[in-house]
Amino acid sequence: MAKRKSPYSRGSKLIKSRTIATPYGSKVTDIKKGSMYDESDKRFTMRPVNSSNVKEVGYKRDDNTLRVKFKSGDSYDYFHVPEKLHRQMMGSQSKGKFLNENIKKNYVYAKV
């Protein structure tokens, strides 16, 4: 599959990534460390959650980005997620199930 530029940019800085096609549309993957979506981004307030798979969840209101850190250590950003969905996820009994059923299939995401 050919590499394409991600449509996500801030100012003149374009995030370099690979885009792959899935049954649910294109997904952005493999964002490099040091990009504006690096896990060290301090604009997220990560909150620990009670889940068998999810360790922490954060949300950035200025661009509607949901960050999920899994117990495996991997973190993913989900772009353009409405704040209402973030609140629903935080109030759900199963964070992982909510993420799989309502967010992963419907929003572009990237591993950070």
Instruction: List the domain boundaries for the chain.
Output: 39-111
Buried b / exposed e along 1-38 (16+ C-beta atoms within 10 A): eeeeebebeeeeeebebbbeeeeeeebbeebeeebebe
Q: Does this model's pTM top 0.85?
A: no
Contact predicate 56/69, CB 8 Å: yes
Cα torsion angle, 8, 28, 47, 41, sign: negative
Question: pLDDT tens for residues 4-59?
Answer: 444 444 433 334 444 444 444 444 444 444 344 444 456 788 999 999 999 999 99
- For residue 49 the two structure tokens come to 């959650």
Q: Which of 30-39, 65-74, 86-95 has the lowest mean pLDDT?
A: 30-39
